Amino acid sequence: MDLTASPEVAARHAQWLRAGLEVVTANKWAVAAGEEAYQRLRAASEVSAYRHATTVGAGLPLLETIQRLRASGERILSVSGLFSGTLSYLTQALATGRPFSEALSEAQQQGLTEPDPRLDLSGLDVARKLIITARAAGHSIDPKQVAVESLYPETLADWPLADFLDRAGPELDAYWQAHPACKQQGVPRYVATVDGEGRAQVGIRCLPADHPFVAIGPTDNIFQIRTDSYDDTPIIIRGPGAGARVTATQVLADIQQFRVT
């Protein structure tokens, strides 16, 4: 089992598989790697079994559902959703008119962000989850092909962490006050989408109040799957997308699959 978030450990997955070891992981780095490295991982997974259900949505059955739909002959028209509980929390705060810096500080105090919150705000973690999802849906995709919108200005990217945490508030608030999402009708949400052609994007969208992505819990994940049979009424998967308990439950389910198969 690899339950780290380390790219160095993830780089060993293919080696372990070629050696005949079965691998269960919640580490996204290997399955969201560049296309060449990912194809090497896929080839190695022909030697031994590889389970990574918890790399997207923790305990939610997103990847399994996509794979079962494809196995039944369904064509995946699109997969979209809110892939980050942290960013769901922040955009819900924005929708109430609260200053962005205040919402970010509160999220940090609740342990919802990484120690450096720019890792969440960059959108790159969501992009990695979308890459994994797109590959489950049958697309060949490289990380460079995903259009990603950051939630903080580039001017703050090179600040030392201590300076960012202590002094970035006014610049973050000014950035968001000028953001187009604050001037549009609708409710802002940080949405990731891959369509039937494999085009993938991650960023802020303003949604109508009756959209399924609006009325959710503060840190929930929610996913919408459209197929030929589930187009007018798409499949919705919703629930906690992070946390030790739900992740551990799905890791144990992945281990049990080895015993069954």
- Which residues are known to be catalytic? 129
The C-alpha angle with vertex 235 and arms to 231 and 241, in degrees rounded to 5, equals 140
For 158: left if phi > 0, alpha if psi spans -120 to 50, otherwise beta; the answer is alpha
Proportion of the chain in helix, strand, coil states, percent, rounded to 5: 45, 20, 40
Helix, strand, or coil (residue 207): strand
List the structure tokens of 176: 């968001």
What does the block give as tokens for 159?
Answer: 């600040």
Question: Can you point out the beta strands (E) in 18-150?
Answer: 23-24, 50-51, 76-82, 147-148
Distance CA 13, CA 1 (A): 10
DSSP character string of 88-119: HHHHHHHHTT--HHHHHHHHHHTT-S-SSTHH
Is 202 within 8 Å of 190 (Cβ atoms)? yes
Residues 6+ apart with CB under 8 A from 215: none
> Phi and psi at residue 41, in whole multiples of 5°?
-65, -45
